[in-house]
Amino acid sequence: MTAITDRPAPGRTAPVRSTIARDTWNVFVRELRPVVRDPFSLIFSLLQPLVFLGLFGALLIGQSGEPASVTLQWFVPGILVMIALFGAGITGSNLLFEMQTGSHERTLVAPISRSSLLIGRALKEMAPIVVQATIIALVTVPFGFTIDLAGMLIGLVLLAILGVGLGSLSYALALASRNKDWMFWAVQQGVLFPVMILSGMLLPLDQAPGWLTTAAAFNPLSYIVPAERALFAGDILSPTVAWGFVAAFVLAVVGLAVGIRAIRTRR
């Protein structure tokens, strides 16, 4: 018969005190496992950006009257930010589900710090975004999109930071929507589209009315989208890129602070 439990031997010292770093790593690894087990799920969730790329992109090329390569150079970096926005924005639904089943409760009884539960999840958002963005960027190269390699690598780092911020906020929203999951979807959808339009990722904001430009100024993504465009064009040292990083960092810090607060106070 197989032993179900072993009693700790007498005198065995208590397990080592956990550290936030180790806990965060363990949460990160757990969150990443389903992605590693089923990497094709990453490709499937690329459907939406591909639709925008194929349909909206074609429309945009027709409208602009410029060669496809010029339009793609402007449009593709925005689509990469869209991947981060939609991917990380929806990620709280996972936690929402785990709160409904009891999986989240199980992790709350485990000896891991509350903050790690959030930070580990948020950091994990970086992985799918980087993989997906790389795929989309490479797919568009045959259609005339040109990539500055160094710029692209830095651009991926920028997207990863953005993912941490957006992911944290999505998790915080999930925690706040406990027992009323409609609220998660209502807020998530309600925020997603204005943020998308006000970032200038689909259409340039140059001809926007003044009030819209003002609103866009408060949207971190309206700094990140131009930064990505500059990076893929190889304009690495431009102030646009610096502002993009500032926006992403601010969003990540705010997101993590809000998320950690949410997970500490919500049971």
Partner 1 sequence: MTPSPIITAQGLAKSFTVKKQRVDAVHPLDLEVQRGELLAFLGPNGAGKSTTLRMLTTLLPPTAGTASVVGFDVARDPAEVRRRIGYIGQGNSAGHNQRVRDELISQGAFYGLGRAETARRADELIESLDLTAIATRGVMALSGGQKRRLDIALGLIHSPELLFLDEPSTGLDPQSRANLWRHIIDLRETHGTTIFVTTHYLEEADQFAERVMVMDHGRVIADDSAAELKTQLAGDVITLGFAGAAPAIPESTRVDDRTVTLTVDHGDRLLPGLIRDLDDAGTPVLSAAIRQHTLDDVFLTLTGRSLRDEVATTTAPENEEVPA
Q: Which residues bind partner 1 (CB under 8 A)?
A: 1-8, 14-18, 23, 26, 29-30, 33-34, 37, 94, 97-98, 100-103, 105-112, 179, 267
State the nearest-atom distance from the C-beta of 265 to partner 1, in Å.
Answer: 10
**At closest approach, how far in Å is the CB of 91 from partner 1?**
12
Q: How many CA atoms lie within 13 A of 150 on its CB side?
A: 4
Count of other CB atoms within 10 angstroms of residue 59: 12
39 in Cβ contact with 116 (< 8 Å): no
Shortest reach from residue 82's CB to partner 1, in Å: 23
Shortest approach of partner 1 to residue 181 CB, angstroms? 14
Nearer to partner 1, 102 or 209 (CB): 102
Question: How many Cβ atoms sit within 10 Å of the Cβ of residue 259?
Answer: 28
C-beta of 41: minimal distance to partner 1 in Å?
9
Q: Which is nearer to partner 1, 23 or 228 (CB)?
A: 23
| Choice between 31 and 228, CB closer to partner 1 | 31
C-beta closer to partner 1: residue 30 or 217: 30
d(CA 61, CA 240): 24
Give the separation between CA 229 and CA 73, rounded to whole angstroms.
7
Task: Name the residue nearer to partner 1 (CB basis): 167 or 244.
Answer: 167
CB-nearer residue toward partner 1: 111 or 210: 111
What is the CB neighbour count within 10 angstroms for residue 199?
22
Question: At its nearest, how many Å lie between partner 1 and the CB of residue 168?
Answer: 19
Output 29 or 212, the one with its CB closest to partner 1.
29
Q: Which is nearer to partner 1, 179 or 207 (CB)?
A: 179
Give min distance, CB of 38 to partner 1, in A: 8
Q: Which residues contact 75 (CB under 8 A, 6 or more apart)?
A: 53, 56, 57, 60
Q: Which of 146, 10, 174 is nearest to 90 (CA)?
A: 174
Give residue 150's Cα distance to chain centre.
Answer: 21
- At closest approach, how far in Å is the CB of 2 from partner 1? 4
Helices (H), 2-148: 20-37, 40-44, 47-51, 57-64, 68-90, 92-101, 103-109, 114-124, 126-140
Residues contacting 91, CB < 8 A, separation 6+: 121, 125, 167, 170, 171
